[in-house]
Amino acid sequence: MSEPLVIIGNGMAAAKLVEKLSARALGRYAVAVIGEEPQLAYNRVLLSSVLANDVAQGDVELKPKRWWRDRGVTVLYGHAATSVDRGIRRVKLASGATIPYSKLVFATGSRPIVLPIPGRDLAGVMTFRDLRDVEMLKQAGAKACNAVVIGGGLLGLEAAYGLAKAGAKVTVIHLMDRLMERQLDAEAAAMLKAQVEAKGIEVLLSAETAQFVGDRHVTRVDLKDGRSIPADIVVMAAGIAPNVALARTAGVSINRGIVVDAQMQTDISGIYAIGECAEYNGRCVGLVEPAYEQASVLADNLSGADAAYVGSIPATNLKVTGVNVFSAGDFLGAPGTEQIYLRDRGLGVYKKLVIANDKLVGAVLFGDTADGLWYLDLIRSGVSTDRFRNELAFGRALAERSNNLDMAA
Amino acid sequence: MNALSNDPPVVRTTCPYCGVGCGVLASPDGQGGAMISGDPDHPSNFGRLCSKGSALDETLGLDKRLLYPMVRQPNGKMARTDWSTALDKVSDGLRTIIAREGPDAVAFYLSGQLLTEDYYIANKLMKGFIGTANVDTNSRLCMSSSVAGHKRAFGADTVPGVYADLDQADLIVLVGSNAAWCHPVLFQRIMANKRERGAKLVVIDPRRTMTAQEADLFLPIAPGMDSVLFAGLLAYLADTHTIDFGYIAAHTVDFEAALERCRSLAPDIAQISKTTGIDAADIIRFYELFAGTPNAVTCYSQGVNQSAQGTDKVNAIINCHLATGRIGKAGMGPFSLTGQPNAMGGREVGGLANQLAAHMGFSPLDVDRVRRFWNAPRMAEREGHKAVQMFDAINRGEIKALWVMATNPAVSLPNAGLVRDALRKLELLIVSENVLVNDTVMTGAHILLPAAAWGEKSGTVTNSERRISRQRAFLPLPGEAKPDWWIIAQAAKRLGYGKAFNYETAADIFREHAALSAYENDGSRDFDIGAYADIDSADFDTMTPFQWPRAAGRAPGETRFFASGDFFTADGKARFVAPETPALHFAADAEFSFTLNTGRVRDQWHTMTRTGLSPRLASHLPEPFVEVHPDDAREHHLVDHGFARVTTRYGSCVLKVHVTDNQRRGSLFAPIHWHGTNASSACIGELVNPATDPLSGQPESKATPASIQRVDYRFAGFVLSRRDLTLPEGTWWVKAAADGGEGILLASNEGIRFWEEWMHSITSDATVSSDFLDEPRGIYRAAIFKDGKLDFCLFVGPASQRPEWNAAKAVLAAGTLEEQQRRALLSGQSADGMADHGPIVCACFGVGLKLIRNAIATGEATDVASVGKALRAGTNCGSCQPELKRIIAHEQHERAAHAV
């Protein structure tokens, strides 16, 4: 008899866990996936592409229904789990039904932070997290309205890009003095700003929102410096918070996220957490790459192998508004580190490499990220770059050729 | 021949470089360029060309050319004018000064690069019509000691032998000649003889040159001591009874006196060894070899000539050949190798201040004969100022007007700093030039006259073996450039001598020159080409190379002189000359403890006006350098490839240091090619002492007391640029030709911040296209791209790791760039052979567009899933899947379209 494994959350981490688990121990578990959203797991990374009409909504589905069925997975989508009774090892759904588990995985993800700004309850003030948000934004954008995005991080810029493509006149309001400050240094951020602005999006930096104004429906955003920006919709993209409410009912230890060990297990045996809701080593991560790593580690452990998650070097490797951006490690360069820069303004390329004691410890790439993974390998492996420092910024192929090395990690 | 045509003929002409005089075939491409190859039918080279000659095709561009007359304006700036105005200014200026101060207040400074016809009428105008012999030429710096030595021994400036002697000799002695680099085609002939006939090669030189490295016996002689070695040889020949008593008795005088002097100069081998610094055993080997090898040729070049006792050295050598009767016979004789393409032609027309014309001098008989031939109103009746003295006279204010043609005295004369000062004092400085800017022009020339360059001008030149060949035009005259003879004739007409200068073609002048050579000659003068006095213009056009003498009625053929005497002295006998005790004019002392020797490098010629245009030639030795012996380097803390300041009493230069044991201790060697237009601090002429040989007036360019101090630069780098630019003050730099633009190697103490600022300062729109900065390691590189091409780049780094520039040069030459070439540029490495995967599509796995396209093209991938299988692309976060879909659709559409 298969052991009942319940996964709460039907996102990318959950799908990856099922994929890995079924490859390693098909049949060992009777898997049930409980998802609040009314559809199968989809690729959240593509939300902005859906918003921008680059991708059809139907194309974001991670796996077709048959894929889940072939693996014997019960997918309960459109069902919110309301509590966990760990005494009787059951998950209670909003419908009142309960699902028994032997092992339980939280893959509940995160939700947008709603800033405590006056007027946040006005109609038209929304977030950008799921397909339902996308649908609403699309409708608003199609009316060529004024849209204000609060937050110049990755998510905010993606929303702004999608809205602009959908036809809205978009203004991004960012509290910090540069965009994506958690991934980019000032120069890369300035290049990104120029790119964003070239797409018709206005960017206001060092701008703090005072209030949303409107009668029932938002009509403008007031800034603390006195400026007002007309707004038919406002998207709050000022960060995310792990979804931990349900886990709290299970009584597991919670800090910012659900605290897990290297095996992705919470402080209660048989209960695990992966993805954005999990906190490992004091850190929650909001990117797909570490979530996948965690899913893989957990799949190994659940199938009887020994695997440990060692944490991820914070690395971002993605496209922002159509531009390749890569960032990893100590990309700002702490005191005592050395920096190498390579720029090509004509090609829109910027590379900054941070070196400490001859080892690569951080990198920012803008425009040309071809060697991002190589840099990440170098950061992770900590090999000395002394021999090929002169070629380092020019990429792996050149470094390998001129040093007659095979630096495959 | 100047007209462009769609199918231009191959034109036979003669190389414009050294005195070997190689035949060249030029096939114009109709676009201002030409294919160049050696003329297999030319008897000087039989189809061979050296590196310089082979690269002539790279020197034909009109970049930097002076293309129209220019006149200095009252505001000090040069401005374009027309020929008529410019020539009026020339003639008015000369006339005014002559009227006020007499004819000796004007002078011409000519060049071994002029054609014989140009030379002839310049000389005629000055010596016959203006009435001064203040005409001298850069050949003074090259072979005037040989001229003086020949005249002392033979009674005429006669080169007795022919090149074929080098094929037939069993012993070839090269004295002061780096023929491997300076006369490469002749040297190859010598090497072929060595290889095929077993001829022995002896090289006598203070330096172990490339030539010396090929020698059977190398005698590293102390600077200036050649006449002691040959004095000793004469004594040895006498002692061993190798001398030809019959020849001496029948055809020479003064043997005993000369031998006596030689014995006192070279009393025994030990003394000779001490004076010359050559190992005694090697001296004996040389003497035995010479004594035992009747077929011996002794070639000498600048190491002999450029000396305060150059004439004595020449005679010390000639003495040995006269004493053995080894002269004028196949495979034997003394042989002067001239440095310039037409030094010999200049000697024939009297281009030197101490010659008249057609190998005549200033005897009353000669002066009268030439006066009658020219119908000259105002013959110069005494010798004029030789080059160094001429510029002294200018400096003293005695000469007020100077016309410089085809040469750059501000660089090439000794004590060049003083020469520049002198030039600035002139009331009228006229310069006939090919180039818009050179150091002489920069001293403040008043009138610039655009002269035809090689490939555009037409006339004759004479090589070292008395062979007259045609230089023919194969390119149209660019802009308003004119042949030198035309320019001089126009000035002469304006001065009122129209009747005597009424030439329409170079052939007219050649005929007159030939006629003068035969005029009242009857065998009394060596130079006689009377057979050509009536050559018609069509025959002149097709004239094949010939050797003089060619008196009227005499059959053509290879000609040697003096096998049976018949010298050109009054009594028909050759003179043995007793050489003076040799000493360098200025000895090294405590302050200037080195002796500075000067010379050339393989791939450059003179001041690089032409060779400097060739990227190929620039790659051999692009930097001005000084060679130092390792022990001297150690003592003075000099490092190989570092820098040093070489100082003499006349000036100083900062040069790259080459440490080599080919250099003798206590001696420094620096090549002469660089100057203010192509390097920051490398004009060797500024260092050279102005002492001259008392007879020939040739400067002692190869022995100036000098000191050397290490100079350090913290940073080194280079610039490649499509445009001309000036580097910041205080930078050490040298320019070198590069395909597509110009290269500059630099060294500096300024760090990367300085260069960053400079980079921005030269960029008008303040956008540096790309840069690379590794500040902790002191590396800064930046580039500007325009229209898809590299426009400019700067590489600066620590002096210890100077960036290599070949890859960047290839990028400059490439023209429109591939993106990958552009991306790799600042690495200083070539992008060739680098895998280019194209822009990244899948960020998670770093999969590029080209890889994906390739997978689709091969059919390996047909949809997103199979792309993922093949390349992993899109299998992680999946965010690139929409793009993958688009790429697949696009590629399949393209393929379908192609299939249709």
From the list B775, B654, B782, the residue with the least C-alpha distance to B720 is: B782
Residue B338 pLDDT > 60: yes
Q: In whole angstroms, what separates CA B794 from the centre of its chain?
A: 30
Q: Which residue is it, tokens 């660019």? A: B478
Residue numbers in A near B768 (CB within 8 A): 345
pLDDT tens digits, one per residue of B164-192: 999 999 999 999 999 999 999 999 999 99
For chain B, what is the largest distance between any 2 Cα atoms, rounded to a whole number of angstroms?
106
CB B331 within 8 A of CB B204: no
- Mark yes or no for CB contact A288/B877 under 8 Å: yes
Side-chain half-sphere CA neighbours of A387 within 13 A: 13
Q: Which residue is it, tokens 């913290």? A: B714
pLDDT tens digits, one per residue of B657-681: 999 999 999 999 999 999 999 999 9
| B830 touches A: beta carbon within 8 Å | no
CB B845 within 8 A of CB B871: yes
CB A291 within 8 A of CB A275: yes
Shortest CA distance from A344: residue in chain B? B770
Record the tokens describing residue A98, joined without a space.
């309960």
CB A25 within 8 A of CB A137: no
Close Cβ partners of B601 (under 8 Å, ≥ 6 residues apart): B181, B620, B621, B671, B673
pLDDT tens digits, one per residue of A308-353: 998 877 777 777 777 888 999 999 999 999 999 999 988 899 999 9
Question: Amino acid identity of A177?
Answer: D
Radius of gyration of chain A (CA): 23
Residue B5 has what pLDDT? 46
Task: Over range B566-589, report the average pLDDT.
Answer: 95
- Mark yes or no for CB contact B829/A342 under 8 Å: no
Residue B91 burial class via C-beta count within 10 angstroms: exposed 0-12, middle 13-18, buried 19 and up: middle
- Mark yes or no for CB contact B879/A45 under 8 Å: yes
Helix ranges, B502-619 (H)? 506-518, 537-542, 615-618
Query: Helix (H) and strand (E) counts for chain A?
Result: 11, 25
Residue numbers in A near B823 (CB within 8 A): 344, 347, 349, 368, 394
Close Cβ partners of B189 (under 8 Å, ≥ 6 residues apart): B163, B166, B167
What stretch of H or E contains A20? Answer: helix A12-25
Q: Look at A32-41, B133-142, B150-159 and tell me which has the smallest mean pLDDT.
A: A32-41
Record the tokens describing residue B685, joined without a space.
């002429």
Residue B899 has what pLDDT? 66
| B772 touches A: beta carbon within 8 Å | yes
Residue A404 has what pLDDT? 63
pLDDT tens digits, one per residue of B506-527: 999 999 999 999 999 999 999 9
Residue numbers in A near B843 (CB within 8 A): 317-319, 324, 326, 369, 372
- Mark yes or no for CB contact A347/B819 under 8 Å: yes
pLDDT tier at A139, thresholds 50, 70, 90:
confident
B contact test, residue of A341, A344, A402 with most B CBs within 10 A: A344
CB B853 within 8 A of CB B863: no
From the list B707, B699, B599, the residue with the least C-alpha distance to B648 is: B707
Q: Which residues pair with B423 in a beta bridge?
A: none
- A194 compared with B815, residue with greater pLDDT: A194
Residue numbers in A near B844 (CB within 8 A): 289, 317, 373
Residue numbers in B near A288 (CB within 8 A): 876-877
Average predicted confidence (pLDDT) for chain B: 93
Strand ranges, E, within A307-402: 315-320, 323-329, 338-344, 349-356, 359-366
Residue B348 burial class via C-beta count within 10 angstroms: exposed 0-12, middle 13-18, buried 19 and up: buried
- Mark yes or no for CB contact A398/B775 under 8 Å: no
Record the tokens describing residue B117, joined without a space.
């016809």
- Mark yes or no for CB contact B775/A401 under 8 Å: no
Record the tokens describing residue A212, joined without a space.
């949303």
CA A213, CA B325: separation in Å to the nearest integer?
Answer: 118
Main-chain dihedrals φ then ψ at residue B186, nearest 5 degrees? -65, -40
Residue B803 per-residue DSSP state: P
Task: Over range B138-162, report the average pLDDT.
Answer: 95
Q: Please state, for a pLDDT cut of 70, what percent of chain A lies above it.
A: 97
**Residue A61 to residues A133, A232, B828: CA-CA distances in angstroms?**
16, 30, 47
Strand B667-671 with B594-599, pairing = parallel
Q: Which residues pair with A204 in a beta bridge?
A: A173
The full set of domains in chain A, from first to last, is 3-111+241-302 (3.50.50.60), 125-236 (3.50.50.60), 323-408 (3.30.390.30)
- Mark yes or no for CB contact A347/B823 under 8 Å: yes
Q: Please state, for a pLDDT cut of 90, what percent of chain B lies above it.
A: 82
pLDDT tens digits, one per residue of A195-211: 999 999 999 999 999 99
Residue B572 neighbours by CB distance under 10 Å: 11
| B843 touches A: beta carbon within 8 Å | yes
Record the tokens describing residue B699, joined without a space.
């400067």
Model-level ipTM above the cut of 0.95: no
Q: Which residue is it, tokens 């030189």? A: B205
From the list A154, A156, A193, A189, the residue with the least C-alpha distance to A364 is: A189
Task: Over range B575-594, report the average pLDDT.
Answer: 96
Shortest CA distance from B842: residue in chain A? A318
Strand ranges, E, within A151-277: 169-173, 202-204, 209-215, 217-223, 228-230, 233-236, 240-242, 258-260, 271-273
pLDDT tier at B7, thresholds 50, 70, 90:
low
Side-chain half-sphere CA neighbours of A228 within 13 A: 8
Residue A407 pLDDT > 60: no
Helix ranges, B226-309 (H)? 226-239, 245-251, 255-265, 269-276, 280-292, 302-305
Residue A334 burial class via C-beta count within 10 angstroms: exposed 0-12, middle 13-18, buried 19 and up: exposed
Residue B900 has what pLDDT? 56
pLDDT tens digits, one per residue of B551-561: 998 887 778 99
Q: Which residues pair with B781 in a beta bridge?
A: B772, B795
| B846 touches A: beta carbon within 8 Å | yes
CA B483, CA B559: separation in Å to the nearest integer?
Answer: 32
Question: How many residues would you count in chain A?
Answer: 409
Residue B6 neighbours by CB distance under 10 Å: 5
Residue B556 per-residue DSSP state: P
Question: How many residues would you count in chain B?
Answer: 900
CB B566 within 8 A of CB B247: no
pLDDT tens digits, one per residue of A101-136: 999 999 999 999 988 999 999 999 999 888 888 888
CA B467, CA B477: separation in Å to the nearest integer?
Answer: 27
Residue B607 pLDDT > 50: yes
Residue B3 pLDDT > 60: no
Residue B308 per-residue DSSP state: T
Close Cβ partners of B844 (under 8 Å, ≥ 6 residues apart): A289, A317, A373, B875, B876, B877, B880
pLDDT tens digits, one per residue of B627-652: 999 999 999 999 999 999 999 999 99
CA B678, CA B609: separation in Å to the nearest integer?
Answer: 10
Task: Over range A372-395, report the average pLDDT.
Answer: 92
Q: Cis (ω within 30 of 0) for the bond into B549?
A: yes
Residue numbers in B near A368 (CB within 8 A): 823, 839-840
Residue A235 burial class via C-beta count within 10 angstroms: exposed 0-12, middle 13-18, buried 19 and up: buried
CA B827, CA A389: separation in Å to the nearest integer?
Answer: 11
The full set of domains in chain B, from first to last, is 11-59 (2.20.25.90), 70-142+342-547 (3.40.50.740), 144-336 (3.40.228.10), 594-711 (2.40.40.20), 715-826 (no CATH), 840-899 (1.10.10.1100)
Strand B643-647 with B704-711, pairing = antiparallel
Strand B23-28 with B34-38, pairing = antiparallel
From the list B554, B508, B506, B505, the residue with the least C-alpha distance to B534 is: B508
Residue B833 pLDDT > 70: no
- Mark yes or no for CB contact A347/B777 under 8 Å: no
Residue A104 has what pLDDT? 96
Strand B770-774 with A338-344, pairing = antiparallel
Q: Which residues pair with A323 in a beta bridge?
A: A320
From the list B568, B200, B138, the residue with the least C-alpha distance to B339 is: B138
Of B771, B785, B829, the CB nearest to A398: B829
CA B696, CA B493: separation in Å to the nearest integer?
Answer: 33
Buried-state track B13-38, b at ≥16 Cβ within 10 A, e below 16: bbbbbbbbbbbbbbbbeeeebbebbb
Side-chain half-sphere CA neighbours of B325 within 13 A: 14
Residue A40 has what pLDDT? 85
CB B879 within 8 A of CB A43: yes
Main-chain dihedrals φ then ψ at residue A320, nearest 5 degrees? -115, 120
